[in-house]
């Protein structure tokens, strides 16, 4: 039986609303069962009533969920100053780093698994349509990286940088953001696999491009401030366009979660008058989801106002 990504989402929601003991228990369950190779995956059990893990599934979403998990533990650390939360933040950053290291080009992999893992056959078979690549250090990694995976990672890194004052964490976040963002910008916002295949493009998603650049400017201003200012001038007016299209229906509902995590950093880190454009995009999204009783949107609301 696969434990779906909703378990991780429940951690994000309940960490804010339930008791600390409940949140810690969920965190420890994630540590014990969902991080076989440093990034979030779902365990498959021998039977519905068994605790025996026989395989893992949803490897292809490891990057996005590891980014969300990083954000959750960073929020936890900010509130509790827990040494356990800090250790989990560092571990999650290490997991994201492994997804950038394994490709050899600073491309973000969906997930990785050791070639000699007992779960490798099942994972690579399930993820085969996304493309399986081999790392010379003894890993398989999954390609066809989507915008979703990048969105989760940049969300988590942006949150961790501000919620955790540890210098090592901040240095690691800065290095990772720079590597991932330079890859995207160096390929004109097109995600290119080692075999030349294009898995996705951020062209037409001004909200996502500017959100990532906003995080880059925040953690590495010497490198990205000018780039962000130029692109903000060119793209800010287009931020609202995809949001306006997406709120016309509730199909592919997870798109609203993605909009929320991208707008979180974009809105909260903006201090210029163009921030009004971002606020309008966020207000459009919020007015659509506010009555849907989805706690994720309540929990993930950025602090609206000048940074």
Annotated domain spans of the chain: 1-146
CA nearest 59: which of 144, 137, 138, 135?
Answer: 144
> For the chain, how many residues are written?
307
**Tens digit of pLDDT per residue, the chain (307 long)?**
334 444 454 455 444 455 778 888 889 999 999 999 999 999 999 999 999 999 999 999 999 999 999 999 999 999 999 999 999 999 999 999 999 999 999 999 999 999 999 999 999 999 999 999 999 999 999 999 999 999 999 999 999 999 999 999 999 999 999 999 999 999 999 999 999 999 999 999 999 999 999 999 999 999 999 999 999 999 999 999 999 999 999 888 899 999 999 999 999 999 888 889 999 999 999 999 988 877 777 655 555 443 3
Model pTM? 0.91
Q: What is the dihedral of CA 92, 94, 97, 101, to 10 degrees?
A: -140
CB atoms within 10 A of CB 175: 15
Q: Is residue 2 a contact partner of residue 44, using CB atoms and an 8 Å limit?
A: yes
């Amino acid at each position: 039986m696969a434990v779906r990504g909703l378990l991780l989402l429940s951690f994000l929601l309940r960490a804010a609303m339930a008791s600390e003991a409940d949140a810690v228990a969920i965190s420890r369950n994630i540590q014990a069962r969902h991080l076989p190779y440093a990034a979030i995956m779902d365990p498959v059990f021998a039977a519905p009533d068994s605790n025996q893990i026989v395989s893992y599934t949803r490897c292809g979403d490891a990057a996005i969920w590891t980014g969300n998990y990083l954000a959750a533990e960073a929020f936890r650390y900010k509130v509790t100053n827990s040494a356990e939360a800090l250790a989990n933040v560092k571990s999650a950053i290490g997991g994201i780093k492994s997804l950038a290291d394994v490709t050899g080009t600073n491309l973000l992999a969906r997930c990785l698994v050791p070639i000699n893992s007992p779960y490798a056959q099942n994972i690579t078979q399930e993820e085969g349509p996304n493309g399986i690549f081999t790392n010379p250090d003894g890993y398989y990694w999954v390609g066809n990286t989507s915008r979703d995976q990048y969105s989760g990672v940049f969300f988590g890194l942006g949150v961790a940088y501000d919620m955790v004052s540890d210098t090592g964490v901040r240095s690691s976040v800065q290095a990772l953001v720079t590597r991932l963002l330079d890859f995207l910008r160096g390929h004109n916002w097109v995600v290119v696999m080692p075999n030349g295949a294009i898995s996705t493009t951020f062209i037409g998603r001004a909200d996502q491009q500017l959100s990532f650049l906003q995080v880059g400017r925040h953690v590495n201003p010497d490198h990205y401030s000018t780039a962000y200012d130029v692109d903000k001038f060119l793209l800010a007016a287009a931020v609202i366009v995809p949001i306006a299209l997406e709120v016309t229906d509730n199909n592919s509902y997870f798109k609203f979660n993605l909009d929320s995590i991208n707008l979180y950093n974009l809105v909260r880190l903006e201090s210029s008058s163009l921030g009004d454009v971002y606020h309008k995009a966020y207000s459009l999204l919020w007015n659509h989801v506010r009555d849907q009783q989805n706690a994720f949107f309540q929990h993930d609301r950025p602090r609206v106002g000048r940074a």
